[in-house]
Amino acid sequence: WSQPGDEIELPSGDWIDSASEVELTGNHLCAKLRRDDGFWGDRSCHFVQPGHTFVNMDGVLTLENITDWPGGTWIHTARNIRREGNLMFTELRRDDLTWNSFFTVVEDGYYFKNVNGE
């Protein structure tokens, strides 16, 4: 799994065939994608993790399989994420920029936020 500062490759998927102005900074991917009407959509951005696959949904960069990780803002400050069944293991960044190992039970529809590494 990637660490902050590690080189991350562009995620797979058909989105790249209709992309312009692609920018990957850390694990933050942004691109403009061609809409179904042939015009360019607005800039679309996502945080990516290894194994993510994206598609172009009418000009919007969309994660192909969104059920792997629970929703919420926690993923913006997470690394080394993995799942084993309904258990998710990750490291979450604390306010002092150190990392805290964390695990939790996840189910469909769960949303999380990182509060100082927890």
For residue 110, the surrounding DSSP H or E stretch is none
Are 26 and 107 within 8 A, CB to CB? no
Supply the pLDDT for residue 21.
Answer: 95
Alpha carbon separation from 94 to 15, 76, 99, 114, 118 (Å, rounded): 33, 12, 6, 8, 8
Task: Label residue 2 by pLDDT band (50, 70, 90).
Answer: very low
Which residues touch 85 (CB under 8 Å, ≥6 apart)? none
If one compares 51 and 63, the residue with the highest pLDDT of the two is 63
What would the two tokens of residue 65 be? 């399989």
pLDDT average, residue stretch 20-34? 90
Residue 10, number of CB atoms within 10 A of its CB? 14
